[in-house]
Amino acid sequence: MRILQVVEAVDPKMGGVAEGTFQQAKELISRGHEVEILTGEETPVKRFEDIGAKHTACSPVFKPWRWTPETKRWLNANIDRFDAVILRGLWQHPMLAARQAAVRAGVPCVLFCHGMMDPYFLRTPRQKLIKRLYWSLFEGKTAHSVKAIIFTAELEEKLARETWDLDGVDSALGYGIEDPHDADRADTFCKKHNLKPGEYLLYMSRIHPKKGLDMLIKALAKLDDSTRPVLAICGDDSGAHADELKALAAGNTSIRWCGFASGAEKREVIANSQAMILPSHQENFGIIVVEAMALGRPVLTTNRVNIWREVESNEAGLIEDPTQKGTDQLLERFFSMSVDEREQMGENARNLFCRRFEVKAAVDKLLEVLESPK
């Protein structure tokens, strides 16, 4: 099967959607399918070439919407080559143009909305106005024209159906990542950033206000020097918000700003941590949460991460509200646990990953939808 994946951007620094696109492409190619990627970014990303996936990057003229006339021209010239189109996300021109081209050509589409139907993104009157208008003009047609919307978690689907008109729209559940069971547990990255394996907490995500990192920095500051854990912060730490957080953390010598990590370094710093902590105000799936569980690390997160019920019911981590009090309690509860209890939680996390979040099962579900008669 020739499959086109269309997404805003796949630079690894873009976070979970980019990573999910890469990992599913890799698994599809391993099964003999041909995969191409179309995005609205300046240059192709080499790691797709490395796995045999051609990446066409249409450099945007209007970056907030990832718009360029080149996207439509490319689709008109190439859409007939594909047996299926995977739309990864909403609200951006590349996915809209791909849906319109696919409908004209009779090429079936599926949609991963990646949490972009979450009511969190309708918090302000301006957000509500823009997205409701865009839905009525464009994305409502997208939702009702695809074979199915593939949600990453049951809670994501529940929130989407409560927020948007999805009556009559078929859906499926399926999302996951590659099993990194053979991850390199060397300590090269750790040595570089003065991290002792097994003796630090890890925050690894975008440096963004919705991630709750300010609450985590404040929670650490409340602890005595003798009990305060080392916190490794891995993410692109350039930009105004990162500067604000660094000022907030000034004088706290337990915090290590490690910058962006990927590949072997990423797996190393996760595998050698005590736990992954992400006090986020909203996460559709939290792919970094799943990556931590895959490497047997407990996860400390909030009930605004859409897989929190799975984490809590399987005792794979700790869950609190996305508040300052909740973030304080994540630290208090984790460090009140015995070493044996923490190790058991890590084993539970690994077991949950293997049962529920491994990429092979997710791709099985994707192919089942693509190959269904509808």
Joined tokens for residue 331: 């630290």
Q: pTM for the full model? A: 0.86
Domain boundaries, position 72 = 2-178+358-370
CB 242 within 8 A of CB 205: no
- Whether residues 202 and 282 share a domain: the answer is yes
On whether residue 289 sits in a domain, the answer given is yes
Evaluate if residue 182 carries a pLDDT over 70.
no
Q: What is the pLDDT of residue 187?
A: 81
Higher pLDDT: 238 or 9? It is 9
Does residue 183 fall inside a structural domain? no
Determine the length of the chain. 374
Together in a domain, 339 and 308 = yes
Report yes or no on 72 lying in a domain. Answer: yes
Residue-level pLDDT at 55: 98
Compute the average pLDDT of residues 40-50.
Answer: 96
316 closest CA partner among 275, 267, 268, 271? 275
Residues 202 and 172 in one domain: no
152 with 195, same domain? no
For residues 135 and 260, membership in a common domain is answered with no
**Taking residues 196-225, what's their average pLDDT?**
95
Q: Confidence band (pLDDT; 50, 70, 90) for 275?
A: very high
- DSSP labels, 335-356: HHS-HHHHHHHHHHHHHHIIII
Instruction: Answer yes or no: is pLDDT of 195 > 90.
Output: yes
Same domain, 342 and 362: no
* Domain containing residue 351: CATH number: 3.40.50.2000
Would you say residue 295 lies in a domain?
Answer: yes
Whether residue 221 is contained in a domain is answered as yes
Average pLDDT, the chain: 95
Q: Do 143 and 235 belong together in one domain?
A: no
- 139 part of a folded domain: yes
Please, which pLDDT band fits residue 186 given cuts at 50, 70 and 90?
A: confident
Task: Give the pLDDT confidence score for residue 363 in this predicted structure.
Answer: 96
pLDDT in tens, 212-265: 999 999 999 999 887 899 999 999 888 899 999 999 999 899 999 999 998 889
Query: Span 129-155, mean pLDDT?
Result: 96
What's the rounded mean pLDDT across residues 188-205? 95
Residues 224 and 167 in one domain: no
51 and 173 housed in the same domain: yes
Amino acid 41: pLDDT: 96
- Whether 95 and 236 map to the same domain: the answer is no
Same domain, 242 and 104: no
Is residue 284 predicted with pLDDT exceeding 90?
Answer: no
Domain count across the chain: 2
Residues 288 and 362 in one domain: no
Reported as half-sphere exposure (CB side, CA atoms, 13 A), residue 210 has a value of: 11
- Tell me if 169 sits within 8 A of 149, measured CB to CB: yes
